[in-house]
Amino acid sequence: MHSMHLDTVLLVLESVLLAFTIVLLVYSIREGKAREGIIDEIGKATKILTRHEYFFQVRDSMIEATDEIVGCITGRMPAGEDIKRADDIVNTIESVSSKGIKIKYLLPKFPDRLHVGNRYSRAGAEVRYSGGLLVNDMRYIVVDDSISVLGLPESVGEKEATKKGYRLPSEGLAHVLRDNFYSCWNAAIPYDEYVRDVVRQTGAPTKHLAKELSLDENEIDRIMNVPE
């Protein structure tokens, strides 16, 4: 509750700063001075605000779930402020899955995505990895086959961070995205199996691999010792 309160305060403060920046912009246009600089500041403020909103929309939509959540995400290792946002999502997965709600995530088939897959899997989600193009390009979650939250990057590219989010209460869109999800899900590799593949392909010592992928060494050993 404290974390959610802090997030709300930060969002309100950023909204106030955005409004103040807009007022300065109007004033500067009238005066004809420093217009370009203030426009840049508005752009920066908007990017921060919309990224906050995206994570809020994802978290709030997940909390409303009563049956199933499926998601297709980039799964990049969080850094900076995203570490706290990732912690919030992990906590939400733990809370929602404890109620018996099924949660499934598809991530791109890249070794550096194992960190997020590990955290989500331990929190209670079922995680798989896909090499399909749609998984690399799409960013969304579907809640109860009725609500979708779409994430859009600032520019084209799998490495670009998601900057904006849109919550769409459309059953038609939810059905389309859910069909897309399961068409990739059925051919995707489960988290544990992908860990074994990466370990075998790299041939690196467990200690080095754990450090490189930000995984617990004991977790890798546990997976490698489970009978296939």
Give residue-wise pLDDT tens across range 63-115: 999 999 999 998 888 888 888 989 999 999 999 999 999 999 999 999 999 99
The domain limits of the chain are 2-52, 65-188
Is 0.85 surpassed by the pTM of this model? Answer: no
Q: How far is CA 120 from CA 32, 73, 184, 205, in A?
A: 51, 12, 19, 24
Determine the pLDDT at residue 11: 56
| CA dihedral angle for residue 64, residue 97, residue 174, residue 57, rounded to 10 degrees | 50
pLDDT category at 182 given cuts 50, 70, 90 is very high
Place of tokens 């050993």: 221
Give the residue from 119, 126, 154, 124 showing the smallest Cα distance to 139: 154
What is the mean pLDDT of the segment spanning 106-134? Answer: 91
Averaged confidence pLDDT in the chain: 79
Please state which CATH number belongs to domain 65-188.
3.30.870.10
- pLDDT at residue 12 is higher than 70: no
Q: Cα separation of 138 and 131, whole Å?
A: 13
- pLDDT at residue 62 is higher than 90: yes
Determine the pLDDT at residue 64: 93
What is the mean pLDDT of the segment spanning 7-35? Answer: 55
Most confident of the following: 132-136, 157-161, 203-207: 203-207
Determine the pLDDT at residue 47: 44
Question: Of 17-31, 71-85, 92-106, 208-222, which gets the smallest average pLDDT?
Answer: 17-31
